[in-house]
A and B are shown apart, each in its own frame.
Chain A
Amino acid sequence: MYKVKVYITLRESVLDPQGSVVKQALHSMEFKSVEDVRVGKYMELTIPSTVENVEAAVEEMCHRLLANPVIEDYRYEIEESVAQ
Chain B
Amino acid sequence: MKFAVIVFPGSNCDIDMYHAIKDEIGEEADYVWHDDLSLENYDAVLLPGGFSYGDYLRSGAIARFSNVMKEVVKAAEQGKPVLGVCNGFQILLESGLLPGAMRRNDSLRFICKTVPLTVENNETMFTCSYEKNAEIQIPIAHGEGNYFCDEETLGKLKENNQIVFTYSGNNPNGSVADIAGITNERGNVLGMMPHPERAMDTLLGSEDGKKLFQSIVKHWREKHVVNA
A residues with CB within 8 A of B: 10, 13-15, 17-18, 21, 65-66, 68, 70-71
Contacts and interface: CB of A to CB of B under 8 A. Distances in A.
A23 B122 CA distance: 43
B65 A17 contact: no
A64 to B, nearest CB: 9
A17 B108 contact: yes
Interface string B93-124: 11000011101111110000000000000000
Contacts of B226: none
A71 B94 CA distance: 11
B148 A14 contact: yes
Given A65-B57, A65-B61, A70-B149, A15 B106 contact: yes
Given A65-B61, A65-B65, A71-B101, A17 B148 contact: no
Interface string B148-164: 11100000000000000
Interface string B50-87: 00000001100100010000000000000000000000
